[in-house]
Structure 1
Amino acid sequence: MANFTKSKNWACFKYTFRYFLRMRLDDLRFFTRVAALGSLSAAGKEIGLSPSASSSRLTALEKAVGAQLFARTTRSTVLTEAGQVLLESATAALERMDAGLSLLEAGTEKPRGLLKISCNMFFGRAHILPYLREFMALYPDIRYELSFTDRMVDIVEEGYDLAFRAAPLPDSTLKARKLGANQRVLCASPDYLSRKGVPRTPADLVNHDCIGLTRIPVWYFDGPKGEIAHQVTPLISGDSGDYSYDAAIHGLGIAVKSGAHVWQDLREGRLIAVMPDFPVARTGAIWAVSPPGSFTPPKTSALGDFLIKKYGRPAYWELNLPQLYADHAKILDRMGIGA
C-alpha cells in the first residue's frame, strides 16, 4: 500500500496519458459515471448500453490503461486502488477539458481575446484608427495590439492575427482578403510644379528632384510601347512612406505615392498627378492578410468584415485616373504652367 501511494502521482499521469492516447473522451466519462453510481448496468443504461455492451466497454478501458479499475461482483462494483487513482486524475482532466471546450465554444460564437495587428503607419492612421472606436463598441471583449511599421512582418512567426499590406502579395499559403484597389501615381505639390515645371515623360525626371524610397530604387511606368523602368536618382531618400508623403506635400520634390495614402490630397489639389500618358505601372491592391488554416478566428473575421463595409465597393480611396488627370490638367492650366 505504501509503495502504491508513493507512486500515486506517477500512476495518475501514466493512466491518464495512456487513456488519452488510446481511448475516447466518452469512455472516460462512462468510467466516472460507473464510479459515481456504483453500478455498471446503471451507468450503461444512462447512455443506452446493454449490460453486455457496458461490460465490454469497461473491459476495453481496463485493457487500455493496463489495470483493473473495479472489483465486480453480482451485487456491487467497487473501485480498486488503481481505479481510485484514475478517477481522481480523470475527474480533474474532464473538468479542465469541459472548461476549455466551453471557452472555445464561446470564442467561436462571439469575437473575443487579443487581436494582434500589423500595418504601415499611413494606413493605420488613415483607414483603421478612425473606425476602431465604433468597432470596439460592437465587440467589447476584444483587446488590441497594434504594430505600425513599414516592415513586412512574418505574421505566422511573429504571432499576428491580421496584417494590412499595400505591396503585391508573394505566393504563399496566407489567407488574403482584398480591401480595395491601390493605384499609384506620380505626384508633386502645386508649389513644386510651379517652380520646377511639369514632367511629361520618364526621361524628364532626370531634371527633377525625385523623392525616393530606399527599398524601391526603380520606378516603373506604362508607356505607349510597353513598360518603362526608370532608375531613380533621388535628391532625398528615406525608408518611410510617411517621410515621402511629407516631403511631397512640403514641395521638396516629386514622388510615386499610393492612392490609398494621398487620395484626399489629390482630390483637394494639395498634390497634383502628372504624366498621364505614362501612368505608374505595377500597381496593386490593399489586402488584409491572416495566417493559413481552415479556421479563421471570429475576432479576425469580424474586423475584416467591418472594414470592408466601411471602405465600400469600390473603396473610397480608389482613383478614377482619367478624371483625375483631366481635373489636374485644368488646375495646371489655371496656374499657367500646363500639363
Structure 2
Amino acid sequence: MTNLGDLEVFARVVASGSMSMAGRALGFSPAVISKRIKRLEDRLGTRLLQRTTRQVSLTEAGQGFYERVLAILSGIEEAEAFASGRATQVQGTLKISAPTSFGRMHIAPHLKPFMDAHPDLAIHLNLSDEFTDIIAGSFDLAIRIAELTDSSLVARRLAPVRRVLCASPSYITAHGMPQDVEDLRNHSCLPAHNHEAWRLEGPAGTLAFRPEGMLVTNSSEVIREAVIAGQGIALRSTWDIGPELKSGVLVQILPAYEGSRNVTLSAVYPSRQFLPAKVRLFIDYLADLYGPVPYWER
C-alpha cells in the first residue's frame, strides 16, 4: 500500500510547482522530496511528474492521480473533523476563485457573517476575469458565470443569471433606439474582451450576434463604466447593473431579447466524494444567500 505521507508530498509538490518549495513547506530537503516522489512512481509503475531544472509539471497519468489524491486527502480531513465533532467547526484555509466584478459586489460584502461564524477558517479569495484552473491553482472551489462544459469538475447551481441589452439614456438620445437585432449593426457595441458572439434568446429562438465597437478591453468593469458613460450598447448581467436599471441610469433595449439562459452562476469543485466541510458550508451559505430569485432581481 502507498504511504499516505508520499501522497501528501506529491500533492504539495504539484500545488507549489517545485520540489524545493514543497520541501521548505514540509521541512524536508529537495533530495528527500525527490526520493519520496520516485518511490511513489516506482510503486505505481508510471511517471507522475515531468521534471526540469526550474519546475515540475504533471504527466497525463499524474493529472488523474492528483485529482484522486486531493479527494483522498480531503476525505481524511473530513473524517477527522467528523470523528472529533468539528464537522461544522471548520478551520484551516478556504481558497476560492471568482470573477472580479461579481466577487467584489456579491461575495466580498457577505464574507464577514460567514467568517464570524467560523473564526478558525481563513479565506483566500482570488478575483480574475479569466477561467482559473482550480486543480493547478489548488483552489477548493471556483465561482463561475458561464455555460459549464468541463465534466471533470462538479458543479452546483447557485442562482440563475439574467443578461439584458442596455444603454444609457444619453446614448439613446444621440443615436436612437434600436428596433431589432440587425439594427445593432448601426450602433456602437461594447463586446467582451474575448470577442465572443452574443447569444440571444428571443421570439424566434436563439440567435448569435457578433458585436463591433471601437473600445477593446480585457476588463468587464471597464465595459460596465463605458456603457454607463454613454459609449455604446452592452450585454450585461442584472447582478452587475440592477441598481442602474432601477434608477434609470441605464435602460433596457430590445427587451424581447436576453442572453442565453444556459449561463448560470455556479460553484465548481474537483470532486463530489468526501467534500470538505469548509467547502460544503461555504457553498450552502452562498446558495441560501442568493436563492432561486437572487436579491439583485427582487
TM over 0.5: yes
Question: Does the 8 Å CA contact 1:111/1:297 hold for their aligned counterparts?
Answer: no
Cα distance, 1:118 vs structure 2: 0.5
Other-structure match for 1:253:
232
Structure 1 residues 114 and 104, CA, compared in 2 at 3 Å: closer, same or farther? farther
**5+ residue gaps, structure 2:** 5-77
Distance 1:274 1:294, change over 3 A: same
Query: Match for 1:142 among 107, 110, 121?
Result: 121
Paired letter, 1:189: S
For structure 1, the residue ranges without an aligned partner over 5 or more in a row are 1-16, 21-99, 320-339
Determine if contact 1:179/1:315 at 8 Å carries over to the other structure.
Answer: no
Displacement of 1:205 in angstroms is 1.1
* Alignment of 1:127 onto 2:81: no
CA deviation profile, 1:99-150 (whole Å, cap 9, x unmatched): x985674454521110001001111111111111111110001011111001
Per the TM alignment, residue 195 of structure 1 is displaced from its structure 2 partner at its CA by 1.4
Q: Secondary structure of 1:166's partner?
A: strand
Deviation at 1:233, TM superposition (A): 1.6
Match of 2:141 among 156, 162, 166: 162
- Aligned ranges for residues 1-339 of structure 1 at < 5 Å? 105-106=83-84, 108-318=87-297
CA 162–149 in structure 1, closer or farther in 2 if over 3 Å, else same = same
Cα distance in 1, alignment partners of residues 122 and 100 from structure 2 = 20
Larger radius of gyration: 1
Matched residue of 1:236: which SS? coil
Change beyond 3 A, Cα 1:217–1:101: closer
Assess, with a 3 A threshold, how the Cα gap between structure 1 residues 260 and 101 changes in structure 2: closer, same or farther.
closer
> Is the Cα–Cα contact under 8 Å of residues 162 and 258 in structure 2 kept in the other structure?
no
Rounded to whole Å, the distance in 1 between the matches of 2:92 and 2:82 is 11
Give the Cα separation in 1 of the matches to 2:161 and 2:192: 18
Q: Sequence identity of aligned pairs in percent?
A: 35
- Aligned-pair distance for 1:230? 1.7
Is the contact made by 2:161 and 2:261 (CA closer than 8 Å) also made in structure 1?
no
- Give the number of the structure whose residues are more often helix, by fraction: 1
Deviation above 6 Å: which 4+ runs of structure 1?
17-20
Contact 2:155 2:267 in 1 (8 A): yes
**Conserved in 1, the CA contact under 8 Å of 2:195 and 2:210?**
no
Asked if structure 2 preserves the Cα contact closer than 8 Å seen for 1:199 and 1:275, the reply is yes
How large is the RMSD of aligned CA atoms in angstroms?
Answer: 2.5
CA drift at 1:282? 4.9
How many residue pairs get aligned? The number is 224
Q: Which amino acid aligns with 1:238?
A: T
Q: TM-score, normalised by structure 2?
A: 0.69
